[in-house]
Structure 1
């Protein structure tokens, strides 16, 4: 297709239009580049490549770090769907991957297949990597927290358990077609949804430092969670966080939703 240019002058200003595509740079792109450079500078990228492994039948030209970089950029973007993220990513994909010295950017379908192959061991290894990075590079302010009348210092943490309900449509199968499978079959299980409408549920437990807004942990499982086990894991993470404080501190937990009711 031949390029067509249209020029006109309005109020002394010359305006030129063209059919050549010139996508705008996403507003989140600069922050994603800074985050990628931070991972490389602090050695997190090297530790990611050495510690986190996903067993896949056909690896191809992609590695775990390719998908982690995509998910980090998606988290930074603040977009509500991967579809919108990949639409904005198309114009800057090669530049984003070059931050970690990568040449190819996975597409949405490749990312979906990778996430389906991620097992619990890989998730735990990645969780340990994030937690160790937080504990190493985020020192605790000696005055962080609240102090009561007796001079005792308290550090507040929010532990929130949230249940997500999923509605299932009827699957119509025919002998001439392959057996249909639900995309949420591994992520959700039948369970108590409370006031929410749905045939299957998934529970997520998050840990947040109330003063600094730091995310310390995120646990999720299909169905209704084991509240006591999640609370025990949350307390273990909080203990490791408070152990870095140079002055005595007492942790105060605020339980919400699922954990509060159990």
Structure 2
């Protein structure tokens, strides 16, 4: 499977109307590692442009793990996929063993994908049927510092598992985006970055950060220094390079 960048356009908890209270971005690697970060938008639309360091109170949900899909057909013979997202680290709970969610991914004529399933509404705490509308953003080549891209997109996955310190983390880069999440005991942190180009004041820019823990998003941007099966060390933590590919 090719790595993908998925952006949510709306969520609908039936029978309520569709809304989009978050900026939700999901990065999925070739081997189906994913990071899904959902940041609540300001409640006041007149809020001035914000700093990119936000309190965790502005987090709707952030989680990471692995996904899988099974081809299906509806009663009319139209193809769709039944997808499962197995959680490995989450902002909502320390105990993710056995936690997953599922949904039917239905392709639409406009190139979007409609996800349908049932889950717990974070506002009401009630399990309800939902719909989410997704579109897949194009992946762009990140240029080198010397100028000029290599003509290939890059995918990087870094993973931390340190049971002694109750630490789990996952960083995924797909092309021009990097997202990472990390839990150490009760502490949780996340980051989201985007490549803005080679112009003055552009380059890699952090879109949001929450929490105080260090995440190796920088190393994921500099893939020439990495090798699959290698390690990124910071303090007492060792992150493994579990994926590194160009496509």
TM-score, length-scaled by structure 1: 0.20
Higher strand share: 2
Higher-Rg structure is 1
TM-score, length-scaled by structure 2: 0.21
Higher helix share: 1
